[in-house]
Amino acid sequence: MTRVNLGAGACSVRKMAKGGVVKMKKGGTICPEGKAWAKRTFDTYPSAYANLAASKYCKDPNYAKKSKGGKRRGR
């Protein structure tokens, strides 16, 4: 059996728990304010697009705030 050097960081090694199940690292959770905003904004909340926007709403304090332009009058 020969060993092949793939270079540093070529592939990641996942350690398995008992029973052969791979435990993946959990991602961040969406804040309750972001979930509430997504439910108000999108027709179908449990969707990939709504979850992406809700997580961005939690991370960026100015996302989806009405600071751009305000009300348009006369148009």
Asked if pLDDT for residue 49 goes beyond 90, the answer is yes
* 57, 38 contact by CB (below 8 A): yes
* pLDDT tens per residue across span 5-38: 666 655 565 666 666 665 555 677 889 999 999 9
Widest pairwise Cα distance in the chain: 78
More confident position, 14 or 64:
64
DSSP-derived secondary structure letter, 62 = T
